[in-house]
Amino acid sequence: MRKTNQDVGASDRPKRVPINGSRDIMNVRGIPPELHPCWVNDTDNNIERYQNAGYNFWTGEVVVGDRKIDSDSQIGSGVISKNVGNGVTAFLMVVPVEIYNEDQKSLQSELAEKEAVLFRSMKQGEGRYGDIKVTTSVVKE
């Protein structure tokens, strides 16, 4: 007996995406929590830079993006890639979360240092008076 739409339970149905809703075509599900996934564009020496920083191509099973008619390409031994437009291909790469977090802390530190110089010059510039209130989204530890 064939199931009709009325017979299909809520758990059998895919998640509904509203017609005017956005699609997340670059979302990746299935990467272990100890790894940080990243799409890396194959431009200039970008792939080599990421490999030198500890990233590797992901070759395991994953689900990429929302449901759609065309499927994601597989290259060679399971390297996952996606056409991102203008002739550019992005490859799915992963790095251990510890390395990713180290890189993020370093980046935040660098941004905080640049902001401090910028704000100091704003407050101490010649001929300046009054008060400047500065807010930032950088997490300070």
The pLDDT of residue 8: 55
- Cα dihedral 83/88/94/95 (nearest 10): -160
pLDDT range class, residue 76, cuts 50, 70, 90? very low
Q: Which residue has the higher pLDDT, 120 or 58?
A: 58
- List the structure tokens of 140: 């300070």
The mean pLDDT of 24-34, rounded to a whole number, is: 85
Is a pLDDT exceeding 60 seen at residue 5?
no
Is a pLDDT exceeding 80 seen at residue 36?
yes
Is a pLDDT exceeding 50 seen at residue 34?
yes
| Distance, CA of 79 to chain centre | 17
Q: Which residue has the higher pLDDT, 6 or 55?
A: 55
